[in-house]
A = this chain, B = another copy of it.
Amino acid sequence: MGRNYIVADVGGTHIRTACFPIQSHVPTIVKRISTKGPNTPHERLIELIALVAPKDEEIAAITVAAPGPLDPFEGIIYEAPNIPGWNNLPLKKLIQDQFKVPVAIGNDANLAALGEWRFGAGVGHHHLVYITVSTGIGGGVIIDNQLLLGAHGLAAELGHITVVPDGPLCGCGKRGHLEAVTSGPAIARWVEQELSQGIPSVLPANRPITAKDVSLAASKGDELAQAALARGGTYLGIAIADYLHIFNPTVVIIGGGVSQSGESFFKPIRKAMSEHVLSSKYLENLILTSSSLGDDVGLMGALALAQTINNAAI
């Protein structure tokens, strides 16, 4: 009888689940639905897990990559701002009660780091820093082949390092964090401000702009858009220099939508990184790269977690 891992990736708008035979990296089935619908998001998650679970085979483990601060030890979601009702939700227990198999949950950015380390741009590295730049900025860190979790599972919040004291307000309510200057919305907001002051650009003034618009305009040579990505990239480069001093990794992987902006984003990152790093020793044999798992990073991270807990159980 075959044994399988069921993995799930819960985002702000969609849930994906997949079934992997335990020796395989290729799913036998993948499903995707909106988090919104007649029933609650966790009911929809449980339904979608059931939908990919093979009928006559064993489930070795179920793992879930979930947004927001959570307790990976107890399996409780503290708060997932975009998902109604996910406050202090005992997600691990809810799934375990339903399926009666080992269950683990992890922060999505943490599991993305685990996924890149196990299957993606971090394969073969023992010390890895992963930063996802998207609506927010999340992080995950591998130290000596172990995921950094901290005392209560709240470690590796790499988007909430202060890079501009008294800088713009962050999504978390505090000022000057990296997320407040380099996330997609932060980059777009800065462009809107510049446009409102009459700075010329192909981007339209007085209309909401997205980071994707900025990225596209930059790729066509728009100077304001390029300046916006350079500003965001510079702060990220400063933060990465900090993370080199702190973790001394051999690979830094940047994921998330904004990381798709190419050299307009990566060039200022590299420049700021080398300008702020303590010693060139931190840059020797260091790889700075974009995520290689793309949209599948959540599912693959959950798969890596499933393998970890299954091996630990053996």
Contacts and interface: CB of A to CB of B under 8 A. Distances in A.
A92 interface: no
Interface string A235-262: 1001001100111111000000000000
B78 A281 contact: yes
A127 B221 CA distance: 47
A277 interface: yes
Contacts of A156: 246
A164 interface: yes
Nearest to A141: B246
A150 B279 contact: no
A31 interface: no
A69 B279 contact: yes
Contacts of A163: 162, 165
Contact of A276 (B148, B158, B174, B282): B174
A238 B166 CA distance: 11
A153 interface: yes
Contact of A238 (B146, B162, B172): B162
A293 interface: no
A174 B246 contact: no
A154 B78 contact: no
Nearest to A251: B151
A307 to B, nearest CB: 20
A54 to B, nearest CB: 36
B247 A155 contact: yes
Contact of A245 (B151, B160, B176): B160
A146 B246 CA distance: 15
B279 A245 contact: no
A263 interface: no
Nearest to A146: B144
Contacts of A202: none
7 contacts: A127-B150, A127-B151, A149-B248, A151-B249, A154-B245, A161-B245, A163-B165
The 9 closest A-B pairs by CB, nearest first: A150-B248, A155-B248, A157-B245, A154-B248, A127-B151, A160-B278, A161-B242, A160-B245, A172-B278
